[in-house]
Every structure is written in C-alpha cells, then in structure tokens.
Amino acid sequence: MHFPLPRRSPLGPRETVKAVDDVSFSVLQGEVLGLVGESGSGKTTVGRTVLRLMEPSGGTIRFRGRDITHLSRRALRPIRPDMQLVFQDPFASLNPRMTIGSIVETPLLIHRKELGRIERRDRVADALRLVGMSPDFANRFPHEFSGGQRQRVGIARALMLRPGFLVADEPVSALDVSIQAQVVNLLRELRAELGLSILFIAHDLAVIGHISDRVAVMYLGRLVELAPTRALFQTPRHPYTEALLSAAPAPDPDLRRGRIVLAGDPPSAINPPSGCRFRTRCRYAEPACATATPPLQEVAPGHFSACRRQELVLQGAG
Amino acid sequence: MTEPVLEVSGLSVRFRTDAGVVPAVNDVSFVLKRGETLALVGESGSGKSVTSLAVMRLTPAPPGCEVRGRATLSRVGELLSLPEAQMREVRGSRIAMVFQEPMTSLNPVLPIGEQIAEPLRYHRGMARAAALREAAKLLELVGIPEPGKRLASYPHQLSGGMRQRVMIAIALACDPDVLIADEPTTALDVTVQAQILELLKALQARTGMAMLFITHNLGVVAEVADRVMVMYAGRVVEQAPVRELFRAPLMPYTRGLLRSVPKLAPLEALGAPLTAIPGNVPDPANLPGGCAFAPRCADVRKVVCEAELPELDAVGAEHLVRCVRWRELAA
C-alpha cells in the first residue's frame, strides 16, 4: 500500500488549512506502522484519508496495489470490509441503545447479507471470544462495561469482516494505564494471529514503541521522520523527534534529566512557517531553514528524515 | 520545609445515587508540608479527584453527597466544618486549584485579565485598575509574552498550553499556601506538558507553596513528586517518598501499575509485550469484601486477602502500605 497524499481542505474562501501536506508512506503486509504527532499534526486526518473517509485534495492512495483515490462510493464498497477503523473514544463510538451483540453484528448486516441469523450469532460469539470477552455479554449494553471492555468491543466490530488492514486511531489513549497495556497486548496478539497490517495512530511515543515495527512522526501536517522503531528511539535524526522523545516524562525518579523544553506552541496550520515548519521552535534552526521545505530523505537504510541539516549531530538533552 | 500546611484525616466521601450509596473516598489521611509536592496517583474511579474536591469543599451539597473527616489548613483551621461564607474567603486565597481542562474552567465570555483580576479584587479588595496591573505581572510570571496586550484576550484566542498558564496565574494570584493541581497537564501535548511542569516547579521553588498533584501518569509523578500516595477503589493503598515508591513498591497494585507503564528505555524492551494487570477496576458501588484489589492481584491468597480489609501498615517512618501479605512479598 502506498499513499502519497497532498491534501487541501478549504475552510473558507480565502484561507486554506493544509491539515496534511505531501505525506507519503506505505504500510507493508503484516506490519504495524506507528504514526505519532501532537494535536493538530494531522495524524487523524491521515488515518481517515487512507480509508477514504475523507477526500484527499491531491496524491494517490493505493490499497493492495490498486489506486483507490478516485473510486466512487459504490466501487469502494467491496473494498471496505478489508479496511477497518478502531476509534479512540470507546464511550462515544458505541451506540448506547444497542446491545454489544448487535453492535458487533452490524458489519455483517451491511456486507454479508447472505448470512443467516444463526451463522451471524456464531460469528459474533467468535469475535467476542477473539478479543477476550465472553459471548454471554452479547445481550448486554455498553454502559455495563468499563472503558477497556468497550474498546475490546470496538476491536471486535472492526475485525468482524476479517479485514487485512486496520487503522487504530488512538485506541488506548482514553484508557487507564493498567487497561491500556491489556489492549496494546491484545492488538499485538491479533496482529500475529490474523496477520493484520495496522496503522497505529497515537500521541504517546512509548505506546507506539511497544507495538510498531516502524514509526512515522508528523509535525504540522508533514512527515518529519520515518524509521524502524528501534532506530528512531536510539538515534532520532530530526530535531522535533529528539524534542518529543526528551519531553516524554520517564516513570523513573532517578532519570529526572535535562529536558529539551520547546519554546512556544505549535504554530497554526492555517499560516504555517515558511520552509521547515518546525524551524520556529527548533534549537538548531538557521536562516536558510526558512527558504525551502526540506524533503523527506533517506539518511540511513530505511531511515528517513526531513531536516535540511542532514549533517547535524543532535545534542540530546544535556 | 517540614512545617505541615494541610493535614487531612479520616476523609470519607459518599454519594447517594439511584443505584444506592457509593463510597467514593474512604478514610483518607495525609499531611502536606510546606514547599513539597505530594502526588496523588490512581486510575479512574479511584477517588483521587473527589479527595481534592472535598478538601476544596467543592463536592455537591448534602444529602446527595456526604463528607466526613477533618482537613486542617495552617493559619485557617478546620475546613470541612467551616461555614460556606468563611470558606469562600479561604478558597482561591489560601488554597487554590488548577483543573484538568483549561477550556471548560475558564469563562469563555470574559477577557482573561478580568478573570485573573477577580481573586485579587475579591480577596485583596484591590481596585480594578490595580488588579489588572497585578494580573499583567502574573501573566509575565507564568511565561506569557506581551502580558499587557494579552489581558484583553479571550480564552478561545489562546492555545491549550496558554490557557493552562492563565489557570495557574489565577490560582497563584493570592499567593496560596496550598495548590491543588488536578491532572493539570493531561489535556496537553507532551511538549507543552513539559513546559507546564517546569513552570509549576519553578513557581513552587519561588513561593514555597505546597502542591497536591493529582495525576494518573507515573512519568509525571517521577518528574514532580517528593512523596506519592497511591489510591485504589477509594482508599490509600500505599504511600512513600517518590524514589522508594518507584524502587521498592510493596503493594501489588503499585507494582502492577509501575510494570504496566510503557517505557522508552531500555530499547531492548521496546518490542516486548506490556505487563498488564488483568481484569477491571471494581465498581465503587459494588466493592469486593476484604482487599479491593484481591480479584486482580497476582499474589492473592484468597483466605487471608478476602477475609477483611487490610490495615494501612507503617513499613518505615514515611512508607505506608495496605496489604496483608506485604512482609512475605517484600522478602
């Protein structure tokens, strides 16, 4: 799958939000690609766009080798079961008036009309078992369950049609730590068991690190770095990734270390800085960083970074 | 440094709901000393926020909510029995609070200058112009550029991090002895969270205020806390100095919580599965008998753990743990 997708979504007659600008990446068969960024970085927009839930303003989306960028809704329908979404908020994404069973069953009613009632019931039971829930829960309502259990229901629904590709948009950020670990582990197991490819979107680098094979970092609508997980954490090449890693508080009081505290807030995507969008907060920025947008370049095998100063040796937090 | 500014003892909060009486907080006691940060850690439903709201006297009125116990603030006295008129003099002046969501806690139709000036005018009796001048100084103190111009800004014109700085400016306006920060960085991005944590630490060093820092994020705890109190299902289950808690946790819940946090280091651990605590947080309206953590505990001995509620034992001068098996488990 390959998706170069420069997109522009108009907010008004004059202003344009480049929510996501010229982002290219691919998710390989059976791979988990982590997509990390802060609020407003465009990571959710990317997730929705690759599923064709939002229309890209440019670029192409390829799914299993096929260009799906301009397929009509009708033409997309047979592909939809193969690409599914797990939502962030397990409280808002389940209809409170439907039972767990009917929530999980809905995809079958839409895409597998040939299945009979009993067969559907069996598949619902299988899906619930798959995510570690008892099939007896099928007759109960979402409010009877905790956040972690509801997220399992959301995952069961997404897996109902046996998709090959899953977009998981912040699937654990609304959950408590002890439960978050359960859901991350569940996704790891499902991926191994079902050979799923997952685009895993999160703002928490540590969570991303525990599930992803490769990690892509976004800042203000652009990809700034893309690398195999360990390489990204060990030797980040983009100053923003370095700052992001250093800002994450480590659960260890002996590691209270010098931190790179970025000045200011991320600029607005309506009027992003010229050239490199991170330059206004970057401690390595030079005047030349304002002139041209640095492209994503391969700096080591499989390791891409969009920094003009390729020669840069990042200092780390002193 | 060792002078206690806030002493809470035997705090219990019960809510009367359609589903029956919910004991949200049970018999919580702690001491907060001048200049220190006590982190209050727990998952949703553990009672950490209700504890802080009860101390601030911000819980709903009886009979819907029933608060028991004592909370003594130095130079003021017992807060929980204070008449509301007197409590109003204390709240926002001697003891102040910063909330999680800066967008919903600020007034959207009032310029931020007026909102910072309000406690100064109310508690200090300052005139509007003088209070606004002071508000500009406070904005500068919390690191907002061009404070004079910013006074006229409305909350929606500011970013999340800026709004949280404004919340902190309001809380610190009257130089309180105690600042309660309830998940002050949870709604913020990690780079902005780093800024706010640095700011709170710098302000504390400057004013000597005591902080009760409520969070579910153990990374933040390691960063800001001197001492830590862990709550589970409405009770304190462990309390210790920060280093001791992270190095030698005794309560199985604390151990499980520390193990379940995804960490960036060591790199070798990155591809490994996380160590989750099985099961779910119990429903506070329906707590198990005995130790509330027993149904999820890997070290449970059914007979002893479910028999009765364990006492909060003193392990050392500053380390408390609520587990009948802690001596065996520590060995």
Q: Kindly state whether B329 is in contact with chain A, defined as any CB-CB distance less than 8 angstroms.
A: no
Share of chain B above pLDDT 70, in %: 100
Q: Are B260 and A181 in contact (CB < 8 Å)?
A: yes
ipTM over cut 0.85: no
Q: How many Cβ pairs closer than 8 A exist between chain A and B?
A: 146
Residue A146 CA to residue A154 CA, distance in Å, equals: 12
pLDDT at residue number A61: 92
pLDDT tens readout for residues B226-283: 999 999 999 999 999 999 999 999 999 999 999 999 888 777 778 788 899 998 888 8
pLDDT at residue number A12: 45
Which of B17, B195, B270 has the highest number of chain A CBs within 10 A, making it the mutation to test binding with A?
Answer: B270
pLDDT tens readout for residues A289-313: 999 999 999 999 999 999 998 877 7
Q: How far is CA B56 from the centre of its chain?
A: 12
10 Å CB burial of residue A35 (0-12, 13-18, 19+) is: buried
Q: Residue A30's closest CA among A194, A157, A201, A159?
A: A194
Q: Are B267 and A206 in contact (CB < 8 Å)?
A: no
Looking at per-residue confidence, does A88 or B52 come out higher? Answer: B52
Q: Kindly state whether B41 is in contact with chain A, defined as any CB-CB distance less than 8 angstroms.
A: no
For the entire predicted model, the pTM comes to: 0.88
Give the gap in angstroms from C-alpha B104 to the nearest C-alpha of chain A: 18
Q: Are B276 and A265 in contact (CB < 8 Å)?
A: no
Which of A134, A153, A176 has the highest number of chain B CBs within 10 A, making it the mutation to test binding with B?
Answer: A176
pLDDT at residue number A16: 67
Number of H helices, E strands in chain B: 13, 12
Q: Kindly state whether B266 is in contact with chain A, defined as any CB-CB distance less than 8 angstroms.
A: no
Over range A51-57, report the average pLDDT.
90
Q: Kindly state whether B286 is in contact with chain A, defined as any CB-CB distance less than 8 angstroms.
A: no
pLDDT at residue number A5: 53
Which member of B191, B270, B275 has the closest CB to residue A181? B275
Where residue A112 falls among pLDDT bands split at 50, 70, 90? very high
**AA letter at B179:** L
pLDDT tens readout for residues A139-181: 999 998 888 899 999 999 999 999 999 999 999 988 888 888 9
Q: Kindly state whether B85 is in contact with chain A, defined as any CB-CB distance less than 8 angstroms.
A: no
pLDDT tens readout for residues B18-49: 878 899 999 999 999 999 999 999 988 899 99
pLDDT at residue number A256: 63
Distances (CA, A) of B247 to B230, B261, B269: 15, 15, 19
pLDDT tens readout for residues B91-144: 999 999 998 877 788 999 999 999 999 999 999 999 999 999 999 999 999 988
Q: Are B261 and A229 in contact (CB < 8 Å)?
A: no
Is the model's pLDDT at A315 over the cut of 90?
no
* Order of all β-strands in the sheet with A297-300: A83-86, A165-169, A197-202, A32-36, A214-219, A222-228, A303-305, A297-300
Residue A232 CA to residue A223 CA, distance in Å, equals: 14
Is the model's pLDDT at B3 over the cut of 70?
yes
Helices (H), chain A: 43-50, 73-76, 100-111, 117-130, 147-159, 177-194, 205-211, 229-234, 239-247
pLDDT tens readout for residues A217-266: 999 999 999 999 999 999 999 999 999 998 888 888 887 666 777 877 77
Is the model's pLDDT at A41 over the cut of 50?
yes
Q: Are A254 and B265 in contact (CB < 8 Å)?
A: no
pLDDT at residue number B232: 95
Q: Kindly state whether B278 is in contact with chain A, defined as any CB-CB distance less than 8 angstroms.
A: yes
Between β-strands A197-202 and A303-305, what pairing exists: parallel, antiparallel or unpaired? unpaired
Residue B41 CA to residue B55 CA, distance in Å, equals: 16
Instruction: Phi first, then psi: give them for residue B164, nearest 5 degrees.
Output: -70, -35
